[in-house]
Amino acid sequence: MPFVPGRVQTTPLPQPQLENTITLEQALLRRRSVRSYQPVPVTLAALGQLLWAAQGISGREGFRTAPSAGALYPLEVLLAVSRCDELAPGLYHYRPLSHDLVLWRPRDHRPTIAAAALDQECLHEAAAILVITAVPARTAVKYGTRATRYVHLEAGHAAQNACLQAAALGLGTVTVGAFDDMALAEALALPEAVEPVYLLPVGVPV
């Protein structure tokens, strides 16, 4: 695993809810790009549900909620937390197999993430930011130069899952791809093999 801090500090996530009164069709109708959020916290259960929707385990075989070329799973999801009553501000790594968070870097990372992404206000306002990163080498082992295409497709699958889950939870999010790759990688202290792909700020809509 590329995200292995010197001292492992884990936070178990509530088990994902597999039933909802909101249908898929209703979530599709509700999905909008939401860029303004109230200055209120988001629950740990809601954050865990979003992470599970993006890259969680959905079967005993280890398959995930989003498809992956060759089931190689190059995506790694980080969570930059600012406002959550049950979780201290910090940058966390989501581990799908154990459905938990590992603290990668302490403190609120919104300012540095936003600075690397044109200072977009939605990143400053978010209660949390899902950061979809990738290890392209995992896919390149099998698919060579087509790995880049597959990795980007998979990031889109994961992001759409999170967007629909946010809609079902009554939360707002928007997909952000406008950022400086090197600046964002530095802000997140990403290992050399890991690339930032997508940002999804999350919060309670205004």
CATH at 71: 3.40.109.10
Mean pLDDT, the chain, as a whole number?
96
Q: So what's the pLDDT on residue 140?
A: 98
Q: So what's the pLDDT on residue 2?
A: 75
* Structural domain includes residue 2: no
* Structural domain includes residue 40: yes
Q: In what order do the strands lie in the sheet containing 172-173? A: 10-12, 100-106, 90-95, 75-81, 128-134, 195-203, 172-173
* Structural domain includes residue 67: yes
* Structural domain includes residue 132: yes
CB 138 within 8 A of CB 73: yes
Task: Enter the tokens of residue 134.
Answer: 């990738």
Q: Which of 5-19, 67-81, 126-140 has the lowest mean pLDDT?
A: 5-19
User: Nearest to residue 57, comparing CAs of 10, 18, 8?
Assistant: 18
Task: Enter the tokens of residue 60.
Answer: 């005993």
Task: Enter the tokens of residue 80.
Answer: 């930059």
Q: What is the pTM of this model?
A: 0.95
* Structural domain includes residue 3: no
- 10 Å CB burial of residue 144 (0-12, 13-18, 19+) is exposed
Domain count, the chain: 1
Nearest-angstrom CA–CA distance, 11 and 92 = 9
* Structural domain includes residue 8: no
87: containing domain: 22-203
* Structural domain includes residue 89: yes
Q: Which of 56-60, 109-113, 154-158, 179-183 has the lowest mean pLDDT?
A: 56-60
* Structural domain includes residue 10: no
**Interstrand relation of 128-134 and 195-203 (parallel, antiparallel or unpaired):** antiparallel
